[in-house]
Structure 1
């Protein structure tokens, strides 16, 4: 059993009318499917973006990947077999180069997306982000702006454009903004004030958007939540981990005594995108190995 196509299962009247025979009786396994919906993924050529895209395709959704590069790197995109995964599950996979900090560029890309997709946009996973390390007394304003512009402004611009598309469709949606445990704490052993500040701002952005786009008469519901990963072992963190003692410090600072891998965030993201998290909005899902729980 599955819920009817393109129905707002979050609508109180629908839930009351259908329970217990309808949505309340849907098996749990069905609640985590993303059938008949398109999900946007920014930072799609990165390690986290690729893992998230794979999970969405495997869960029945179509994926539109966005990133600043003209085409995804073969090192990440091809070796992950994304195209094969899409074909295996009968899903559509699109990729568009997009600088998420450019308002006009984002608008232009969304026009292309709307003309290409088969199913309406029902989800967003904003993975695009960057960090620049350096002592605050010497950190240049340009570098600070660069970090905040991508991590915060870029996330907002894509969320804004996606919300407009959702409102045109009249259907519900779920957005996942990738923040970080660094939005709660300072990164011990490295100077990343701009990054930490930007990720704390993403937490607040999500709460504010969730409040604006909550269920109101005549306005499609958009749930907005954040995912806060702990340290992830990727090529991007390899340089930092090469510093003497830093890996031991980072692994020792969480309760699982190891770093995460990008694939460990697939299930949390699918949960937040799906109807399985239907009563979750304005919240943060911290997946940090217990780092912030000491």
Structure 2
């Protein structure tokens, strides 16, 4: 028996990287997966990789409230509930505070933090219908331990961490059986980080920050997300799960 058999899961940022790896793991564990991303071509490729049929794809701008509302209506009509929400979509824009424009600041917060709020708000009624709903929000080690030239990213991911805790407490008070936890990856090899990892100097700096001496793989984060989505973590809510090769332990 697979651990997510019969469950309906939504993954944002599912066209590549951690989102795609997690969508594939969800499918392997028996879930019906709805992949969401703003990259339509990437979504089609991703869907083909996890055997389309019961799984579906939806083009979604995670900063657009109307788009979230429409997607919630589609899921309600198609499935009648949602069991797992993985708010994964995000990106980083790294610059000094002095070199960060207000528009850049707002974009980073919109994609990384506003999207988590919008996804949670729109999908909570569907998750409450599950009576065993699980929200997993993508934060980062930068939501726990700051770094220079990452002010907007740290602010966004720190916001995700605390918003997750607030969501968990609110759901517990409502008694809707929805759990909410955040996941905090360290340095992971994804398409978004490929450019940095290709620079020998940057690669050396990143490795020096990881006690176990290697960069993580998206599948290693996907395994942790499956745990948070499953009944194996049924007594966890409002928690942060750090998967970083020891970086924040230093």
Alpha-carbon distance, 1:73 to partner:
5.1
Of 233, 238, 243, 1:282 maps to: 238
Q: Quick one: structure 1 residues 170 and 244, their matched pair in 2 at CA, closer, same or farther if it must change by over 3 Å?
A: closer
- Aligned partner of residue 62 in structure 2, secondary structure: coil
| Distance in 2 separating the partners of 1:158 and 1:50 | 18
After superposition, the C-alpha distances for 1:220-256 in whole angstroms (9 at most, x for unaligned) are: 2110001100111122112223445111111121111
Unaligned segments of structure 2, at least 5 residues: none
Q: Quick one: structure 1 residues 93 and 73, their matched pair in 2 at CA, closer, same or farther if it must change by over 3 Å?
A: closer
- Aligned partner of residue 72 in structure 1, secondary structure: helix
| Distance in 1 separating the partners of 2:229 and 2:103 | 34
Aligned length: 250
The question of whether the paired residues in 2 share the 8 Å contact of 1:215 and 1:221 is answered with no
The answer on 1:114 being equivalent to 2:82 is no
The answer on 1:240 being equivalent to 2:210 is no
The answer on 1:59 being equivalent to 2:25 is no
* Corresponding residue number in structure 1 for 2:12: 42
The answer on 1:197 being equivalent to 2:158 is no
* Normalised TM-score (structure 1): 0.80
- Aligned partner of residue 281 in structure 1, secondary structure: coil
* Corresponding residue number in structure 2 for 1:171: 131
* Normalised TM-score (structure 2): 0.93
* Corresponding residue number in structure 1 for 2:140: 180
Q: Quick one: structure 1 residues 48 and 285, their matched pair in 2 at CA, closer, same or farther if it must change by over 3 Å?
A: same
* Corresponding residue number in structure 2 for 1:77: 46
Worse-superposed segment, 202-211 or 245-254: 245-254
After superposing on structure 2, the runs of 4+ consecutive aligned residues of structure 1 that deviate more than 4 Å are none
The answer on 1:266 being equivalent to 2:222 is yes
| Distance in 2 separating the partners of 1:170 and 1:64 | 16
The question of whether the paired residues in 2 share the 8 Å contact of 1:37 and 1:120 is answered with no
| Distance in 2 separating the partners of 1:235 and 1:131 | 12
* Corresponding residue number in structure 1 for 2:101: 140
Unaligned segments of structure 1, at least 5 residues: 1-29
The question of whether the paired residues in 2 share the 8 Å contact of 1:71 and 1:97 is answered with no
| Distance in 2 separating the partners of 1:163 and 1:60 | 22
Worse-superposed segment, 242-251 or 105-114: 242-251
Worse-superposed segment, 33-42 or 141-150: 33-42
Worse-superposed segment, 244-253 or 174-183: 244-253
Worse-superposed segment, 191-200 or 62-71: 62-71
The question of whether the paired residues in 1 share the 8 Å contact of 2:36 and 2:43 is answered with no
The question of whether the paired residues in 1 share the 8 Å contact of 2:9 and 2:33 is answered with yes
* Corresponding residue number in structure 1 for 2:65: 103
- Aligned partner of residue 189 in structure 2, secondary structure: coil
